[in-house]
Amino acid sequence: MDDLDLRAAKIRLLCTDIDGVLTTGALHYGPEPGHTKTFFVRDGAAIKWLQRAGIPVAFISGLDSGATVNRARDLGVEDCFAGFLDKKPILDQLCAKYGLAYDQVAHLGDDLPDLPLLRRVGLAACPSDAAAEVQAACHWVTTVPGGQGVLRAVAERILKAQGRWADTLGKYGVNE
């Protein structure tokens, strides 16, 4: 196992930013207050795989958005924090809730507000188009840009490192 797989094998909670990670970061405004976002469906499937494997997923977003809250509800993400630019207290709260050390947590982020978390967690990952400072702080810069399946790639890596990928494939009739 390489260092990245050793880190992934320890993960018991996956935290993720939203805008620029689960979405492209584009916000669509219309005549009504608020905005819409587009989420990548494969990330949603990967969230369900992690949940079934006993690994909760938490959304931690600096933008207070109804779209984020709705997506969390649709996926059964119980820990949804929208409108929190200071993300470290949220990480501490989640570690206390689940009885975890930082090295048991993964975080996906793309911009400067994510740095305090990325510098603490056991597995720090980002999309290929993340800010340069974020890429420098991460253990893994994925080959996938934001909004195109970043969480899906990270979830697969975690499940493989934990020996759970075959179970996921088996649910779809695929034998490894």
How would residue 36 be classed by pLDDT, with cut points 50, 70 and 90? confident
Residue 141: strand, helix, or coil:
strand
In a domain, 153, yes or no: yes
Torsion, Cα 36 42 44 45, to 10 degrees, reads: 160
- What is the structure's pLDDT at 116? 97
Residue 174: strand, helix, or coil:
coil
pLDDT tens digit sequence for 51-87: 999 999 999 999 999 999 999 999 999 999 999 999 9
Average per-residue pLDDT in the chain?
A: 95
DSSP 8-state symbol, 149: S
In a domain, 175, yes or no: no
In a domain, 42, yes or no: yes
- Joined together, the tokens standing for residue 102 give 């930082």
- Joined together, the tokens standing for residue 97 give 């809730």
pLDDT tens digit sequence for 123-133: 999 999 999 99
Domain range spanning residue 126?
A: 3-170
Give the largest CA-CA distance in the chain.
52
In a domain, 109, yes or no: yes
In a domain, 138, yes or no: yes
Does the pLDDT at position 39 exceed 70? yes
- Please give the tally of structural domains in the chain: 1
Q: Which helix (H) or strand (E) covers residue 78, if one does?
A: none
pLDDT tens digit sequence for 98-115: 999 999 999 999 999 999
For residue 117, the Cα-to-chain-centroid distance in whole angstroms is 12
How would residue 31 be classed by pLDDT, with cut points 50, 70 and 90? confident
In a domain, 176, yes or no: no
Look up the pTM and report it: 0.94
Does the pLDDT at position 121 exceed 80? yes
Please state the φ and ψ torsions of residue 44, each to the nearest 5 degrees: -65, -40
Q: What is the CATH classification number for the domain harbouring 106? A: 3.40.50.1000
In a domain, 85, yes or no: yes
In a domain, 107, yes or no: yes
- What is the structure's pLDDT at 47? 98
Report the number of secondary-structure helices (H) and strands (E) in the chain.
Answer: 8, 8
Helices (H), ranges, 13-170:
41-52, 66-75, 88-98, 115-118, 132-137, 150-161, 165-170
